[in-house]
Amino acid sequence: MTFYISKIFWLFAQPLSLAFLLLAVGLVAGWLRWSRVRTLASAAAAIVLFLTLFTSTGAVLLQVLEDRIPRADLAGDSPACIITLGGGFESEIIAARGGFEMTQAGDRFVETLRLAREFPEARILISGGDGSFSGAYEGDAVVGARFFAAFGVAATRLIREEGSRDTFENAGNTGALLAANGLRDCLLVTSAFHMPRSVGLFRKLGLAVRPWPTDYRTSGRASLGLDFTQPSANSQLMTTALREWTGLLFYYLAGRTHSFLPQ
């Protein structure tokens, strides 16, 4: 139930949806002659749109998360296993057209492939089921196994966790598989902005992991200011940032992590 509630909540809470709802409230308020409500709702919608489209706010918020946890220092140590969190494949498109169509988070699987070649003895645990409302598509664990096989990674090295639909389920289900296979202190590969929440969840469950962030979305040099050059990109950065910060807050309040912003 929590999974569906979070999906529905974010459907309306993301910046552009929120701006639309505020504009709708303003229109209804105008029709009802509630002038103060109309003015406040319209002004709030304009502020949300301006910050989302024409400032670097989203990039700065995302950059804070990306800079939070650096890559582990392997110092010549070969990891026994690599955990890759799903979210890197376009499941609906793959179901219709085949192949390996990737999302922006596809770097998670590209980087894991590179690590798999660098550390040929490491097991690879792919965590990710179908996170859609319908549940009608293959999850990233299934598609990812085909992806790695296509590039010569032996099936005997792979462990598939196919049941998780979100990060909380990723961590819980992965912990059980690690125990069953006698694996520990694995590298954790996920998007850099997603690493604080992921590490927080694994630590809460008593699972030690070594972070290996990838899929950076910012340069690391972003500063707060106006940006009229790329409104669509700014919108995407803001949406991703607010979703992740919202997830961090919810997980902390729900007792799923020890701290609001793990490090």
Mean pLDDT of the chain: 92
Mean pLDDT across 186-196: 96
What is the pLDDT, as a whole number, of residue 198? 96
For residues 180 and 242, membership in a common domain is answered with no
Residue type, 102: M
77 or 260, which is more confident: 260
Residue 13: pLDDT band with limits 50, 70, 90: confident
Secondary structure (3-state) at 117: helix
Residue 132 scores a pLDDT above 80: no
Does any domain span residue 61?
Answer: yes
What pLDDT score does 74 carry? Answer: 86
Residue 129 pLDDT exceeds 80: yes
- 26 in any annotated domain: yes
CA dihedral (228, 230, 235, 237) in degrees, to 10, reads -110
In a domain? residue 164: yes
pTM for the model stands at 0.92
CATH value at residue 158: 3.40.50.620
Same domain, 51 and 161: no
Rounded to the nearest angstrom, the gap between the alpha carbon of residue 50 and the centroid of all alpha carbons in its chain is 25
* Per-residue confidence band for 193, with pLDDT thresholds at 50, 70 and 90: very high
Q: Establish if 74 belongs to a structural domain.
A: no
Q: Which domain holds residue 183?
A: 81-214
pLDDT of residue 263: 83
Tens digit of pLDDT for each residue in 230-259? 999 999 999 999 999 999 999 999 999 999
Residue 49 has pLDDT above 80, yes or no: yes
> Is 243 inside a domain boundary?
yes
Do 50 and 96 reside in the same domain of the chain?
A: no
User: How many other CB atoms are found less than 10 A from the CB of residue 98?
Assistant: 8
Distance of CA 220 to the CA centre of its chain: 18
* Residue 51 and residue 95 in one domain: no
Give how many domains the chain has, as a whole number. Answer: 2
Helices (H), the chain: 2-13, 15-31, 35-54, 57-66, 91-97, 107-118, 140-150, 167-180, 195-204, 231-253
**pLDDT, tens digit, 9 for 90 and up, residues 58-99:** 999 999 999 999 999 988 788 999 999 998 999 889 989 989
Structure confidence at residue 4 (pLDDT): 78
pLDDT at position 121 over 80: yes
Asked if the structure places residue 33 within a domain, the reply is yes
Q: If we measure between CA atoms, which residue out of 64, 67, 50 comes closest to residue 234?
A: 50
Q: 88 and 62: one domain?
A: no
- Write the CB contacts of 106 (distance below 8 Å, at least 6 apart in sequence): 88, 89, 215
Secondary structure element (H or E) that encloses residue 123, with its range: strand 123-127
Examine residue 219 and state whether it is found in any structural domain, yes or no. no
Residue 101 inside a domain? The answer is yes
Q: Tokens 């707060």: give the residue.
A: 224
Say whether both 56 and 151 belong to one domain: no
- Same domain? For 52 and 124 the reply is no
Q: Are both 90 and 155 inside the same structural domain?
A: yes
Compute the average pLDDT of residues 218-228: 94
pLDDT of residue 134: 66
Same structural domain, 141 and 239? no
Q: What is the pLDDT of residue 108?
A: 97
Q: What is the structure's pLDDT at 95?
A: 87
Provide the percentage of residues in the chain whose pLDDT is more than 70.
98
Mean pLDDT value of segment 90-110: 92
174 and 87 in a common domain: yes
| pLDDT more than 90, % of the chain | 79
